[in-house]
Amino acid sequence: MPGPTRRVERIAWRGGSLAGGERTIPEETAVAFTYGGSSYAVMMATPQDLEDFALGFSLTEGIITSPGEIEALEIVKEPIGIELRMRLAEPHATAFRERRRFLAGPTGCGLCGIETLSEAMRTPGAVADGSSFSPKEIMAALDAVHGLQAINQMTHAVHGAAFYRRDEGVVALREDVGRHNALDKLAGMLTRRGIPGQSGLGILTSRLSVELVQKAAAIGIPVLVAVSAPTALAVRTAEASGITLVAVARNDGFEIFTNPQRIREEQDVLV
């Protein structure tokens, strides 16, 4: 399999002159998801943590509801990309055949296998209350994520999705050139490790669109923190599903857009 990064030659213009050198950049590969031999989506992604990607994508897209519904997974390297071949258990295999779709998506496309407006605008189920967090904990989580993004530290060109739990810190993190892909990989990692989404908060190093809220709700994350601003639809969807949306989270603070009851001053945080 190709690695997640590549070292390439480049010519830099700085200080009024040109100079040769090298730079580490992220790899980008076509990754195809197939179920029972039927194609569902092709994503442009970082070729790493592919088992997590297969499981997380299947969960957040509603193809499965638990890992046991995937009977087999084969990761196949093709000349032009990677195929994630999955076999679903019944009755899920039959249900999938009935909704068979194919979509070739750009990097991090978040609407896969969708044909109707109602499917695209689906309102996720309500998330459980989960934990409450203090502003201090949110800031600590943000600081920790930046230090743990190994690929981004080398390339400054990938997104990160992380999961933080009180008294444990960041317990899971995944990176990808696509922000939706990073969250899918995180979902798969959490599920494989048996870490429930309601036990912590999710952190995204990207802008916050509705697909990310839908994916977070699918795995039960009650608090979602993003470094950039949300879209209006993301705010409405988070409000409807009960997710606490924290965005514009920088080193000087953050803004709470929905369900603020989970963000409490230090003395009020539930242990």
Residue in this structure with the two tokens 């999710």, named with its chain if needed: 202
CB 64 within 8 A of CB 88: yes
* pLDDT given for residue 109 in this prediction: 53
Same domain, 64 and 92: yes
Q: Which two tokens stand for residue 128?
A: 């459980």
Tell me which residue of 3, 54, 8 sits closest to 29, measured CA to CA.
3
3-state secondary structure of 137: helix
Same domain, 104 and 151: no
Same domain, 200 and 257: yes
Q: Domain for residue 23, yes or no?
A: no
Same domain, 262 and 148: yes
Same domain, 250 and 150: yes
* pLDDT given for residue 119 in this prediction: 53
Same domain, 71 and 97: yes
Q: Domain for residue 97, yes or no?
A: yes
Q: Domain for residue 227, yes or no?
A: yes
Based on its alpha-carbon atoms, the radius of gyration of the chain, rounded to whole angstroms, reads 19
* pLDDT given for residue 94 in this prediction: 87
70-129 pLDDT, tens digit per residue, is 999 999 999 999 999 999 999 888 888 876 644 445 445 555 555 555 555 566 788 988
Q: Which two tokens stand for residue 194?
A: 């048996």
Same domain, 110 and 187: no
* pLDDT given for residue 100 in this prediction: 65
Domain count, the chain: 2
**The CATH number of the domain where 105 resides is what?**
3.10.20.10
Dist CA 58 CA 70 (whole Å): 9
237-257 pLDDT, tens digit per residue, is 999 999 999 999 999 999 999
24-48 pLDDT, tens digit per residue, is 999 999 999 999 998 899 999 999 9
Rounded average pLDDT over 55-81: 95
Q: Domain for residue 87, yes or no?
A: yes
Dist CA 75 CA 8 (whole Å): 27
Same domain, 99 and 210: no
Tell me which residue of 230, 177, 199 sits closest to 127, measured CA to CA.
199
**The CATH number of the domain where 192 resides is what?**
3.40.140.10
Instruction: List CB contacts of 142: < 8 A, sequence separation 6 or more.
Output: 203, 225, 227, 249, 251
Same domain, 115 and 237: no
Dist CA 246 CA 243 (whole Å): 9
Q: Percent of the chain beyond pLDDT 90? A: 80
* pLDDT given for residue 104 in this prediction: 45
Mark which of 96, 120, 144 sits at the end of a domain.
120
- Catalytic site residue 112? no
Query: For residue 257, what are the domain limits?
Result: 135-268
Q: Domain for residue 21, yes or no?
A: no
Same domain, 151 and 254: yes
Say yes or no to pLDDT of 271 above 50.
no
| Beta-carbon-side half-sphere exposure of residue 52 (alpha carbons within 13 Å) | 26
* pLDDT given for residue 97 in this prediction: 81
Please, which pLDDT band fits residue 2 given cuts at 50, 70 and 90? Answer: confident
Same domain, 258 and 175: yes
Instruction: Calculate the average pLDDT of the chain.
Output: 90
Rounded average pLDDT over 188-216: 96
Mark which of 86, 120, 154 sits at the end of a domain.
120
* pLDDT given for residue 102 in this prediction: 46
Q: Domain for residue 5, yes or no?
A: no
Burial class of residue 253 in the structure, from the number of CB atoms within 10 Å of its CB (0-12 exposed, 13-18 middle, 19+ buried)? exposed
Q: Domain for residue 115, yes or no?
A: yes
Catalytic residue among 45, 109, 173, 177, which?
109
CA–CA distances in Å: residue 159 to residues 115, 176, 205: 27, 5, 6
Q: Percent of the chain beyond pLDDT 70? A: 89
Q: Domain for residue 128, yes or no?
A: no
Mark which of 94, 120, 146 sits at the end of a domain.
120
